[in-house]
Structure 1
Amino acid sequence: MSEIIVLAPMEGLVDPPMRDILTRIGGIDWCVSEFIRVTTGLLNHGTLQRIVPEMDHGWKTRAGVPVRPQLLGSDAHWLGENAALLASLGAPAIDLNFGCPAKTVNRHRGGASLLREPELLQQIVASVRAATPASVPVTAKMRLGYSDTGLTLECAAALEAGGAAEITVHARTKVEGYKPPAHWEWLARIRESVSVPVIANGDVWTPEDYRQIRDISGCERVMIGRGLVRRPDLARQIRQADCADTAMAPWPSLLPWIADFFQQTRERVVDRHAPGRLKQWLSMLGLTYAEAKPLFDALRRETNAESISRCLDALAAGADQAQTLLALSEQKPIVQSCA
């Protein structure tokens, strides 16, 4: 396959319901889970099942898209032991997180903080590689560095030397976070310095961005995170023959997916926490779809999950959005269909 599109792991954003929705919309080849933190000891089944429930379904989403678990930590021994555990449970690959920019993660010597220690990167990858069957790929995700690019190529070489079969690179440093621009030219330098495939990541919002990151980096594989959350049919559009910037999926076509997402979220968390996840997604959709903003504004202070569900179900069934939101604000019965 000449092109591969991967759904990025993003803590607190690309969770199991989001993976399910985005992979059913289509165009994604595989996903990487939110990170699973490893300290000392083996992970319990409940933790794994909560973060990667797809493990009970052949490590695939409902659309049949594979999900690779991602481990985060700095203890090479226990990362290896837990990788072996995941492999014994059928994981299709083991991904290692050396890219998370979160302060809490980095304070505890995890994620991108390890990019200051290339020797440790190699030790961790080698430990995980030695602990898992040869048939299970070990992959890694990194950034360009912690605060600068002084060790970028050394880190990539360390990952390859440890046995990484593939390296995903988010084209920013930890300190840069998600501040634009992503430095796509660095992806080409890394790709040319290692012999394993490099997956390009960072600031892919449109099919045109996808073409450009591939042209500049020379990478055939691209990982997309926030771009897919903001534009859920982006991967499917990229798959179109001419890969042109055609019209996005119309807003009404997304409403059933939003209602489905909220229902799945309610099944995973207590009702008082479910609205927050929905509002997070609507806020991001609002950066692409003007119609998402009034829905977000109407639900911003709504805490009753059942009321929100009725509103979303009505919209998904074709009810007029303005009238439905007015009824919600006035606490009137919501009409379930515009028929």
Structure 2
Amino acid sequence: MQIALAPMEGLVDEILRDLLTRVGDVDWCVTEFIRVCDRLLPEAHFRKLAPELAHGWRTRAGTPMRLQLLGSDPPCLAENAAFACELGAPVIDLNFGCPAKTVNKSRGGAVLLKEPELLHAIVREVRRVVPASVPVTAKMRLGYDSPDGALDCARALADGGAAQIVVHARTKVDGYKPPAHWEWVARVQEAVAVPVIANGEIWSVEDWRRCRAVSGVEDVMLGRGLVSRPDLARQIASARAGREAEPMPWAELQSLLADFWRQARRKLAPRYAPGRLKQWLGMLTRNYPQAAELFAEVRRESDCARLDALLGVDADGPPLGEGESSRKKTEASEA
């Protein structure tokens, strides 16, 4: 079984990839999508959204990272994919699932599910130009406004050369509203000969068990569920091994929040760092009442120094150790 961290534009950046993979049991992750329109992007653009490329395309925990491209022009996508491979990208992933209106209006993401022939052409052209050793994978939804064409889309991707397909089990029109239609993941897996990964509405170990039972697939990609419960991959891996993992205590999560804030302070402008903190903290309120209390304290605060004080953070202090999980740090401090 593989557990992947989803690429979530505007949310799962290098900071959250770092923290969530250090918690443990994430097998691989994916960059936020890099939008390709009509030109070869400069190296600096790839380094901005995929800074881990400087470290062998791995997070500090050593978790492999794939590069995701989004666009609708087969030759241009292929050219950028080939260049990314020159920069060391180990896997090229293609986005056919983003539901954002601005993305769809510019002919990117889930709107392309209306055109299975174009899906095939994109994957085929990318597969043609990248080295044989570099897998080309794809992420799709069940369709734009109906799942009726989901199997045709999946076949188009597989026939074009996709080595693996992640299926977010909702249409574009469904957005992120529950439920996720995991039974369609099973139908997709029956329709193609490549591995299929289930994605969507997995918030807990119980959800994972139901998803596996309904979809029939072992591998999962976690998005909002992992962001709001940072040890979800750890809990699922333990359950898969027949063990029950203790949920992450608030003290451990506090260490993650502190490290998140330190990194945000260093990497983002002061006007943007507080918003990123509140974004993640707001999602953590789903599972942690303490997060709701802290969110109430910080929600109207925009001064970084005052946020330092509220979080008990020395902005100049070092981040958690290289390759070391916050859990280990917490255990050491309690020993």
Q: With structure 2 as the length reference, what TM-score do the two structures score? A: 0.91
Alignment of 1:177-196 (within 5 A): 177-196=175-194
Q: CA deviation at 1:315?
A: 11
Who is 2:3 aligned against?
Answer: 5
Cα distance in structure 2, aligned partners of 1:181 and 1:192? 21
Match of residue 307 from structure 1: 306
Q: Note if 1:151 corresponds to 2:175.
A: no
Q: Secondary structure at the match of 2:169?
A: strand
**Percent identity of equivalent pairs:** 59
Letter in 2 for 1:284: M
In 2, the alpha carbon distance for the partners of 1:243 and 1:211 equals 14
RMSD: 1.3
Q: Is the 8 A contact 1:118 1:154 kept in 2?
A: yes
Q: CA deviation at 1:310?
A: 2.8
1:170-319 correspondence to structure 2 within 5 Å: 170-240=168-238, 241-244=241-244, 247-313=246-312
Contact 1:207–1:243 (Cα < 8 Å) also in 2: no
CA contact (8 A) 1:96 1:139 kept: yes
- Equivalent in the alignment of 1:52: 50
User: How many residue pairs end up in the alignment?
Assistant: 313
1:129 is matched with 127
2:214 counterpart letter in structure 1: I
2-structure distance, mates of 1:254, 1:179? 27
Q: Distance in 2 between matches of 1:121 and 1:52?
A: 24
Distance in 1 (CA, whole Å) between partners of 2:293 and 2:50 is 33
**1:89 counterpart residue number:** 87
The 8 Å contact of residues 33 and 51 in structure 1, kept in 2 or not, is answered as: yes
Deviations 1:122-150 (A, max 9, x none): 00000100010010000000000000012
For 2:60, the aligned partner's letter is R
> Do the aligned partners of 2:57 and 2:65 also contact (CA within 8 Å) in 1?
yes
SS at match of 2:16: helix
Q: Which residue of 2 aligns with 1:21?
A: 19
- Provide the C-alpha distance between the structure 2 equivalents of 1:47 and 1:68, rounded to a whole number of angstroms: 16
Range moving further from structure 2, 97-106 or 249-258: 249-258
Larger Rg: 1
Residue 161 of structure 2 is matched in structure 1 by: 163
Q: Which has the higher relative contact order, 1 or 2, with Cα contacts under 8 A spaced 6 or more apart?
A: 2
Q: Tell me, which stretches of 5 or more residues in structure 2 are unaligned?
A: 316-335
Q: Counterpart of 2:318?
A: none
Q: Measure how far apart 1:311 and its partner are.
A: 2.3
Q: What is the DSSP-based 3-state SS (H/G/I as helix, E as strand, rest coil) of the residue aligned with 2:147? A: coil
Check whether the contact 1:255–1:315 (CA below 8 A) recurs between aligned residues.
no
- Contact 2:262/2:313 (8 A) holds in 1: no
Partner of 1:328: none
Whether the 8 Å CA contact 1:112–1:142 is kept in 2: the answer is yes
How far apart are the structure 1 equivalents of 2:264 and 2:314? 18
Q: Give the aligned partner of residue 328 of structure 2.
A: none
Normalised to the residue count of structure 1, the TM-score between the two structures is 0.90
Superposition deviation, residue 238 in structure 1: 1.2
Deviations 1:224-272 (A, max 9, x none): 000000000111111213254x542111111111011111112221011
Are the equivalent residues in 1 in contact too, given 2:258–2:313 (CA < 8 A)?
no
